């Protein structure tokens, strides 16, 4: 089955730690996105990538980093510089024209 | 800042009634899309309307787009309890492939 998979579903981070969220897709999509969602809020764009080995900052990139070494994978690292990382993180992919985005089931990150 | 803003933020209706929500955006777009999110889950694409279209239908969904007012509406007809979810509009800016979401409308359909 084609789809987009995020792991883990729940993640706990100690203050000062870096953590990496996984996102894998087998839809052969060129574009991939990371969004952050806070309770009762909309989605804010962190980073996006339109092609392998290239990515652009979104609206709230500070404290986050990404890589796009393979078409299928777009991992997100939440660094210690992100002061308020507790949130629901959503990964999505689409064809190169962003005509329809497919979403993973999300990773809920909590700082403990 | 978010490109799209939905109105109302929350909506409560009885089963069988219609639900209407609106989205306003700020910059020129290639297309506007509506998504649905069940609590704690990922988003699911519902419908896309291109900038040169004014109305589109899909099952019980009807979407309109007014580019002169930079606004769109989503109508769900004959709502069901299973329609309870949050609904988001998203725009692809004319300048590129960035897909930007609004704040969403939370819809509660009471049986």
DSSP string of A23-82, one letter each residue: EEE-S--SEEEEEEE-TT--EEEEEEEEETTEEEE-TT-TTEEE--SBTTB--EEE-TT-
Would you tell me how many other CB atoms lie within 10 Å of the CB of residue A38? 12
Instruction: Write out pLDDT tens, residues A55-101.
Output: 999 999 999 999 999 999 999 999 988 889 999 999 999 986 667 89
Among B70, B79, B84, B80, smallest CA distance to B22 is for: B70
Nearest by CB to A101, from B45, B102, B104: name it.
Answer: B45
Instruction: Write out pLDDT tens, residues B18-52.
Output: 999 999 999 888 899 999 999 989 999 999 999 99
- Chain A residues 51-90 with a CB less than 8 Å from chain B: 56, 58-59, 88, 90
Amino acid B79: pLDDT: 97
Amino acid A83: pLDDT: 87
Decide if A42 touches B, using CB distance below 8 A: yes
């Amino acid at each position: 089955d084609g789809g987009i998979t995020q792991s883990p579903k729940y993640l706990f981070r100690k203050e000062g730690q870096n953590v990496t969220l996984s996102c894998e897709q087998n839809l052969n999509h060129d574009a991939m996105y990371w969004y952050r969602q806070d309770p009762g809020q909309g989605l804010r764009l962190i980073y996006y990538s339109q092609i392998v080995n290239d990515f652009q900052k979104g609206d709230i990139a500070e404290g986050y980093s990404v890589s796009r070494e393979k078409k299928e994978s777009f991992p997100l690292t939440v660094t210690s510089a992100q002061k308020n990382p507790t949130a629901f993180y959503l990964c999505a992919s689409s064809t190169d024209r962003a005509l329809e985005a497919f979403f993973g089931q999300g990773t809920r990150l909590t700082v403990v | 800042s978010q490109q799209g803003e939905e109105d109302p933020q929350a909506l409560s209706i009885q089963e069988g009634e219609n639900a209407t929500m609106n989205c306003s955006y700020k910059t020129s777009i290639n297309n506007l899309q509506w998504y649905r999110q069940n609590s704690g889950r990922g988003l699911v694409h519902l419908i896309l309307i291109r900038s040169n279209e004014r109305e589109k239908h899909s099952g019980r969904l009807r979407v309109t787009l007014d580019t002169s007012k930079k606004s769109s509406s989503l109508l769900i007809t004959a709502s069901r309890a299973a329609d309870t979810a949050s609904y988001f509009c998203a725009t692809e800016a004319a300048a590129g492939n960035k897909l930007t979401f609004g704040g969403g409308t939370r819809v509660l359909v009471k049986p």
